[in-house]
Structure 1
């Protein structure tokens, strides 16, 4: 919706390109670094999680994306700290808060963002009861799967034995040629 509100021409172009195979994002970002730079995801002066990546994420990519990050003291110090932790195998991945079902009732809810704009893990996974017959394979499906596995195994054995036979024939043919000379 942001694209529609901000640039009608670009929106129309994207929609018309969606009808053409392999041209969905033509004329847009050519590389991931270009995407990050042009969307301000790498700007250390912006508020964290507003439009840009977190300090930890910026510190992990500081090595080769852009000089603006290399010159930023806060990011440089955090990158050095993380580099040491990685070398000592002490780096702990950032924890993301779990899904809170109460938040799902709020207006504008997204399972990937908390109301304050910080990321969250995906929404709850549907629980599957293994004892429920609708989630289990029927005996026919199990038998068909076993039969398919057996056929695949037999075909693999046949192919490997045919390959070893052809190698043996090559050796025998080579021996015959040597004898003739």
Structure 2
């Protein structure tokens, strides 16, 4: 009598191998990444969207300078098209705002030990220069949208308001790109 493997055992092994390979594929590198060189401190920003198994994985903002790297976990809700708005402050720092006011930060890029967060509670953002927005879900794929392509717009998504960039806040979503662009 010849022993044949149980069909269910074989199916379970095959599914396990496929699941493991898929998990490793997503765990090794981000599913989406947008890299933006900054006009100050020879720095760059990398916005990474990591894939989850059943839903969106975390969004990681990586800010790199020659002195070091800063990582910020922006959560795991990519939603219908999350955007991260980038600004240059008068002090040559980096302002970072995420849709819905779910992440607001200012990053000092000049530190000898690498970039670091600066408290935002008492900051006046009126003098900030809009550099553009990183969009993970865009018609053309994940990309950096320049100010010439889309006006500055800080959507609150029902979160109320923020003390930063008040003149550019809208209650819901922003329309992109500029008409005629």
**Into which bin does the TM-score normalised by the smaller protein fall?**
under 0.3
Q: State the TM-score, normalizing by the size of structure 1.
A: 0.20
Q: State the TM-score, normalizing by the size of structure 2.
A: 0.20
Structure richer in strand, relative to its length:
2
Structure richer in helix, relative to its length:
1
**Greater Rg by CA:** 1
